[in-house]
Amino acid sequence: MLGGPGSGKGTQLKRLCSRMGIPGISVGEILRQAIVSDTFLGKKAKPYVEHGELVPDELMIQLMRLRLLQEDTQNGWIMEGYPRTAFQAEELDFVLEDFGQRLDTAIYLQLDEAVMAERSIERSRHDDTLEIIQRRLELFRERTIPVLAYYEPRQKLLRVNGNQPPDAVEAEIRQQLSDFS
């Protein structure tokens, strides 16, 4: 599940996973928990997450490899917040190949930037300043938009209108997934 800050990825992840009975992997959530628990990963990731910067690819790739090794991923999974760079997208395919898995579909929640900014401000956590929100949007534009160009020619990309209310977004995702398969 791809999308910018405030695009509703987390909400849609929960809805789809409970409907499909497969685990949801929220990368931002894993990082925030690691920071609270002050683990090795948490210590390394903290300065980046707190400033709205991207955690270095090498660390993220290790983290995802470990997550996908867990038993619950055997019958499928949905992830959100990953991949966030073209390099992560490419590496994810290598990791999946190693594990005898493959990525079927990348769902892109497409929103107007003004809507993303507004939603991010509304739900912002106590340490989210306007400046950090702006930085997240900028990184999304610069680093994550290129991920679309990775999946599109591979015929894996579904574009969904994320400007709508959550029920309508969910319905559109389900419709597109059934047309796709």
Assess 87 for contact with ligand AMP (CB under 6 A). no
d(C-alpha 32, C-alpha 46), whole Å: 8
Instruction: Report the nearest approach of ligand AMP to the CB of residue 178 (Å).
Output: 27
Instruction: Spell out where 111-168 has E strands.
Output: 157-161
- In terms of Cβ atoms closer than 10 Å to its own Cβ (0-12, 13-18, 19+), residue 126 is exposed
In the numeric block, which tokens belong to residue 43?
């210590």
Assess 119 for contact with ligand AMP (CB under 6 A). no
Closest C-alpha to 158, from 108, 123, 116: 108
Assess 27 for contact with ligand AMP (CB under 6 A). yes
Number of residues that bind ligand AMP (CB under 6 A): 16
Instruction: Report the nearest approach of ligand AMP to the CB of residue 8 (Å).
Output: 12
Residues 148-177 that bind ligand AMP (CB under 6 A): none
The residue number whose beta carbon is nearest to ligand AMP equals 28
Radius of gyration for the alpha carbons in the chain, expressed in angstroms and rounded: 16
Residues at the contact surface with ligand AMP, assessed by CB under 6 A: 5, 27-28, 31, 48-49, 52-55, 60, 81-82, 84, 88, 136
